[in-house]
Amino acid sequence: MLKEPSAKYRPFPPVHLPDRQWPNRTLTRAPIWCSVDLRDGNQALAVPMNVGQKLELFQTLVKCGFKEIEVGFPSASNTEFTFNRRLIEEHRAPDDVWLQVLVQAREDLIERTFDSLVGAKKAIIHMYNSTSPAQRRVVFGMSKEQIIRVAVRGATWVQERLHRLKGTEVRLQYSPESFSATEVEFAKEVVEAVMEVWKPTPEHKMILNLPDTVQVSTPNVYADQIEWICRNIRNRDSLTISLHAHNDRSTGTAATELGLLAGADRVEGTLFGNGERTGNLDIVTVALNLYMQGIDPRLDFTDLNAICDVYERCTGMTIPPRHPYAGELVFTAFSGSHQDAIKKGLAEWDTGRQQHWDVPYLTIDPTDISRQYREVIRVNSQSGKGGVAYLLENEYGVVLPKDMQREFGPIANEEVDRLGREVSGAELKEMFWREYIERSTPWQLQGFETQSRDGKVQCRARLLRDGQPVEIAGEGNGPLAALVHGFSSAGVPRFEIANYSEHALGAGAEAAAIAYIQIKHSDGRTRWGAGVDTNIELASVRAVLSALNRS
């Protein structure tokens, strides 16, 4: 890298817009969406989709609720043309879905494009030519006047062929490609020249697509460009202003959201941002960003996992685990403090006292897009007691008392740290069972009977102590008090029960119960124990033995 990058690179000039309005606006509704997965996304794949894959992805886009889908560049190849014809001839497009096709401002390509659309119910013809200084100088060697003539000539060729699409409802779309790198005054001049040919009206609008083809500035400059066009273009009410952001500066989402604030009506993009270089705008992200603000995105990503599967199967691309909303780990907390906050937030939400979602670290409810709460908290060496307790409760119904969480959390964390990896709920349960339930030395239960007499409970316990049979008897105001008295009578150092709780581990008459007991020794030491049995009394006895064994 250069020590003085200014010797080679220069900042992109800002737009003079001292009274810009977009910073004070708020998004209140979803834009018109247009998916370009089958064209812009497809052309960026190392191995482009075949017709079958494009058909499957098209159907998925329709199910998501897209009403405008750019299905391809039918003049570019036989595969693209064939796909278009199959959609039309096999009636695969619903009556309310517009098939958008892309074409350069070249007569032979426009001719082929019209051939591909015969018989379509709704079609958007998207014509473009590039307008930026670099494109004018390097690629075309043309002046501004010559670039305008290219656009006007192309628009005329399109206009002259519209009669061929009888029975088809047609919309016209124009893109000054590389708009974001074009002088706004010149972009306006080119667009208005095209408008002179197509003559849009408020009843029959033309789509004006203003692409951030290569991001050359911060998102606020793109927003200024959009607002400048919206305020200065002739007959704005006859235009649908459309955005098409790429992601070269990793700000495609920001550029789009600010562009909508600046006055745009429509957004083109792809699922999960597939596209050339660093990709296109990710429509899923922008749509769910609106959703988390309480705005209906007018797209349905309820089963986002299934959409991810189709996308990966058809494109051969993979969705990174940290990709917004769709990534495997985006709703997952490993940090102990995060887990504790999420656990408490979900518990508050479950009470129904909160009208609006406000759970720490979770921008939306994962279940809204078919993600499960058990995915939210996962345990590794960075996790704390809250995450451990959450997994045990949500996967196995083991509800640890708070004080017991403080005891078992560090024990589990030490084991996870030793393993050096993430652990599953099953592994955590195994750790808990090994630490508490399966402790059998020195004390092991062989039998336990009680009887009541004169308001007192008498117990008799048959035990093994280090493998040797021992029998103890005691009396108290309940079975556990009698058991504690029996241990005292047998010469075991005195202790008392400090905490007790229990619950069922399932439903039905045969469901096991689990008991949690904390004992306190005469020297002030405390230990938790746990026991499981179909008989709650025996579960409690086993919990006392567990605590003694852990002492």
Plot region of 275 (φ>0 → left; ψ -120 to 50 → alpha; else → beta): left
What is the three-class DSSP state of 4?
coil
Cis peptide before 442 (omega within 30 of 0): yes
Where exactly are the structural domains of the chain? 31-315, 336-437, 443-550
Which among 284, 135, 289 is positioned nearest to 216, based on CA atoms? Answer: 135
Which among 208, 272, 203 is positioned nearest to 234, based on CA atoms? Answer: 208
Task: State the Cα–Cα distance between residues 271 and 452, nearest whole angstrom.
Answer: 70
Q: 150: part of which helix (H) or strand (E)?
A: helix 144-161
Cβ-Cβ contacts under 8 Å for 89 (sequence gap 6 or more): 119
- Answer for the pair 254, 284: CB distance below 8 angstroms, yes or no: no
Residues for the chain: how many in total? 551
Task: State the Cα–Cα distance between residues 547 and 2, nearest whole angstrom.
Answer: 67
Task: State the Cα–Cα distance between residues 245 and 79, nearest whole angstrom.
Answer: 26
Q: Show the tokens assigned to 342.
A: 């999420």
Task: Quote the pTM value.
Answer: 0.78
What b-and-e string marks burial along 181-216, b requiring 16 or more CB atoms within 10 Å of the CB? bbebebbbbbbebbbebbebeeeebbbbbbbbbebb
Q: What is the dihedral of CA 348, 353, 356, 361, to 10 degrees?
A: -10
pLDDT values of the chain reduced to their tens digit, one per residue, 551 residues: 999 999 999 999 999 999 999 999 999 999 999 999 999 999 999 999 999 999 999 999 999 999 999 999 999 889 899 999 999 999 999 999 999 999 999 999 999 999 999 999 999 999 999 999 999 999 999 999 999 999 999 999 999 999 999 999 999 999 999 999 999 999 999 999 999 999 999 999 999 999 999 999 999 999 999 999 999 999 999 999 999 999 999 999 999 999 999 999 999 999 999 999 999 999 999 999 999 999 999 999 999 999 999 999 999 999 999 999 999 889 887 777 887 888 899 999 999 999 999 999 999 999 999 988 666 656 655 666 677 887 888 888 899 998 999 899 888 888 888 888 888 888 889 999 999 999 989 999 999 999 998 889 999 999 999 999 999 999 999 999 999 999 988 888 999 999 999 999 876 656 799 999 999 998 999 999 999 999 999 999 999 999 999 98
Domain 443-550 has CATH 3.30.160.270: yes
C-alpha 414 chain-centroid distance:
32
Residue at token pair 């007499």: 453
**CA distances, 439 to each of 221, 434, 436, 445, 529 (Å):** 67, 7, 6, 11, 9
Query: E-strand spans in 63-220?
Result: 68-72, 98-104, 122-130, 169-177, 206-212
31-315: which CATH topology?
A: TIM Barrel (3.20.20)
- The pLDDT score that the predictor gives to residue 424 is 82
- The pLDDT score that the predictor gives to residue 410 is 87
